[in-house]
Amino acid sequence: MFRNLLMLENLSVALETLRSRKARSALTVLGIVIGVTSVISVAAIIDGLNLYIKSKIALVGSRLFIVTRIPFGTDPFRLPQRIRVRRYLQVSDAAFLREAFPSVAYTAIFADRFGPGMMQNDIRYGKEQVERFFLRGSEPDLAQAIPQFTTTAGRFFTTEDMEHSRSVAVIGAGIADTLFPRLDPVGKEVRLNGRPYEVIGVFERDPGLFSGFGVDQFVVIPFSNFHKNYPQVREIFIAVSIRDEYDLNRARNDLEDVMRRRRRVPQAAESDFEIGDPNFLAELWDQLTGALILLTGVISSIGLLVGGIGVMNIMLISVTERTQEIGIRKAIGARKAHIKAQFLFEAVMLSISGGVLGILCGGVIAFTVRATVPSVPATLSLFWISVGVAISVGVGLFFGYYPATRAANLDPIVCLRYE
């Protein structure tokens, strides 16, 4: 009971001290506000983006491997000699994998016509035109291997379409919106790079990562038709989807062994192909967020250090201003622990007030980012709110300890004589 009354008294004194020195207290906690705000806002943005990246990876397919000749994300015009001389993948490689690789659920070869060194694509319907998009030739199992390429209207092309090299196309929702703003695209004839194609389907809407290129900006045609019309495109990719019951790490090793045997790579030589998976997006994101967290930590530390020094300074001034009060309290029986607790309580109240303001500011920033940039879904979690409170309490205890100890160790006789 006595302890509870003592805590209430310390709280009352601490709040009265803050109220009596509003301007000085506000300036003191400004550094803490900046530090906590930066931590909370950046953490909220990163948490939201983590959920966003994971959802995109799930759409691509978490059990998907892509076999390529060159590494993903490299400039084809700046490749090392050892990669430039690699043999191109062949159409027959996909069929070989289906037969030799029991863990495969689906395989699909595909090739893209977009990027440096290639002519720009063009698709038209009447007076409407779209120029900037990916043109992809693929096998019918592309939609099963990569769930992103699921149709929401019409159908995907079939094995019969492939065998007869039919001029049919499935288009992205973004392209459909532009070419057919008021019409059903399915069954309409478009001009694709000057050639007539029948639109047989439209993909589910997918604007892409951070509103970049997604399935909305794709036109997919049968690979046989693509190869006939664009024989100069030699870069082939193989999508390999693994069955649910197989371990992914083991499947990856088996896939590499099968491809090495298929391409007759000597045992001591490095593989002349690459195996990528959607997790490379997560790894790239982890590297980016790691650097961002480090930068935020540095900025936050500076703000918290400045705020902590301000707390220590104002508490030392408070000790000096209240020397006689300390002497009177000691004279009537207050112990060192009581004096120390009172000043520590005041320091913690100062830092917590800054922390609460920082959390509120961080929440406002996160909400503003989410509202203005929907592709950055900032999410403020209870965990990071708790971290903000813990940081505030820690700053108050650390930087308030010395002034509190100094107040507790003052000689009561000296204090009573102080003017």
**What pLDDT band is residue 188 in, cutting at 50, 70 and 90?**
very high
> Is 129's pLDDT higher than 80?
yes
**What pLDDT band is residue 250 in, cutting at 50, 70 and 90?**
confident
**What pLDDT band is residue 2 in, cutting at 50, 70 and 90?**
very low
> Is 289's pLDDT higher than 80?
no
Per-residue pLDDT, averaged over 101-119, amounts to 79
Instruction: List the single range of 10-14, 124-128, 130-134, 308-312 with lowest mean pLDDT.
Output: 10-14
Over residues 373-408, the pLDDT tens digits come to 776 777 777 887 888 888 888 888 888 888 888 877
- pLDDT given at position 287: 64
> Is 228's pLDDT higher than 60?
yes
> Is 323's pLDDT higher than 80?
no
Please give the Cα distance from 313 to 28 (Å, whole number).
Answer: 9
**What pLDDT band is residue 172 in, cutting at 50, 70 and 90?**
very high
- pLDDT given at position 279: 64
Per-residue pLDDT, averaged over 353-370, amounts to 86
> Is 186's pLDDT higher than 90?
yes
Over residues 15-59, the pLDDT tens digits come to 566 666 666 666 777 778 888 888 888 888 877 777 777 666 666
pTM of the model: 0.66
In the chain, the percentage of residues whose pLDDT exceeds 70 is 81
| Burial class of residue 258 in the structure, from the number of CB atoms within 10 Å of its CB (0-12 exposed, 13-18 middle, 19+ buried) | middle
> Is 238's pLDDT higher than 70?
yes
Per-residue pLDDT, averaged over 79-102, amounts to 84
- pLDDT given at position 168: 95
**What pLDDT band is residue 90 in, cutting at 50, 70 and 90?**
confident
